[in-house]
Structure 1
Amino acid sequence: MTEFPYDTRLNVLFPALQKIELAPLVASVTHPWYNQTLCRVNDSVVRLGVMQGAYHWHKHDADDEFFFTLEGRFLVDLEPSPAGEPGRVVELGPGEGVVVPRGVVHRTRAPERAVILMVETAAIVPTGD
């Protein structure tokens, strides 16, 4: 199994009906690439990302991912498609989000510290298939 330099926490931090306060959690983060599962919603989870730097290229064969930026600037690099469509970069600022469909090879980056929310299935492997 490949080791990655990320602080990925898959435990559900907040059970149903417990208020979620992000500010204290975000303020406590010191790792450059932190990912914490906040809560479960049906078969999906909502995760908090506090990050700076680049994630590795990867894809998810069976799962879509939703990224929503709360603070900072967050970039989603998309690899060229097998059909020859060029790769591109989706740049997200505060209040902006994007869905990366299953099977799309992508990499996320934060040139400066960014705070994002992710929504994905609970079964997803965050580092990719």
Structure 2
Amino acid sequence: MLLLYSYILLHIAYTKIANFVLLFKFNPNKSVLTVGCIPMADAFKRGKLKMKKMKIDKINPAAAAADLKDFWTLKSLGQINDHAVQLIKMQGEYEWHTHEKEDKLFFVVDGILQLQFRDHTLQLYPNECIIVPKGVENKPSAKDQATLMIFEPQR
């Protein structure tokens, strides 16, 4: 008999009750679906759920920047939800451009970023950042080498 098991994680917040797991069992031979609810801790003990082990570690942007050899090449540091966290080493000017659908965050790791807008120019120094709203035309540049950490939607 073939059973299809699906486990759906459900967080129930009812007077400080712990998390529960809904357990679905489907028997295609009888076209029967049964549903049960057990505490998450029991699901782990019974082997119904497996904890995915992942290493959580700190990121040192300055150290990661030392590995960047080429200008204008993105290096991924990871992602936050659906946003990429990337490093880029730049020198010289980038073209005028606009991000129509998303905001973009620039964080200066080292060097000086000059960010031109049509009506003014800002200079950002290490440990400073700026959020450029979607639809705002801008032109980043760096007279000397600068390294930026960028947050933008995953592509």
- Calculate the TM-score normalised by the size of structure 1: 0.70
Structure 2 gap ranges (5+):
1-53
Distance 1:73 1:23, change over 3 A: closer
SS of match in other structure, 1:30: coil
Other-structure match for 1:99: 131
Contact 1:16 1:39 in 2 (8 A): no
Equivalent position of 1:71 in the other structure: 110
Letter in structure 1 aligned against 2:148: I
Higher relative contact order (CA 8 A, sep 6+): 1
Alignment of 1:81-92 (within 5 A): 87-92=119-124
CA distance in structure 2 between the partners assigned to 1:72 and 1:46 by the alignment: 19
Give aligned pairs, total.
Answer: 102
Query: In the alignment, residue 151 of structure 2 is paired with which amino acid?
Result: V
Shift >4 Å, 4+ stretches:
none
Deviation at 1:21, TM superposition (A): 4.2
8 Å Cα contact 1:72-1:115 kept in structure 2: yes
TM-aligned CA deviation for residue 32 of structure 1: 2.4
Query: Mapping of 1:18-33 within 5 angstroms?
Result: 18-33=57-72
Deviation at 1:121, TM superposition (A): 1.5
Q: Please give the alpha-carbon distance, in whole angstroms, between the structure 1 residues aligned to 2:85 and 2:55.
A: 12
Quick check: 1:32–1:53 contact (8 Å CA) kept in 2? no
Q: How many angstroms does 1:23 deviate by?
A: 4.4
Moved more, 56-65 or 18-27: 18-27
| Distance apart, 1:24 and its partner CA | 4.7
Which residue number corresponds to residue 101 of structure 2? 62
Say what the alpha-carbon RMSD is for the aligned residues: 1.9
1:45 aligns with 2:90: no
Q: CA deviation at 1:70?
A: 1.4
Determine if contact 2:107/2:149 at 8 Å carries over to the other structure: yes
C-alpha distance in 1, partners of 2:132/2:102? 9
Structure 1: 5+ residue runs without aligned partners?
1-14, 80-86, 124-129
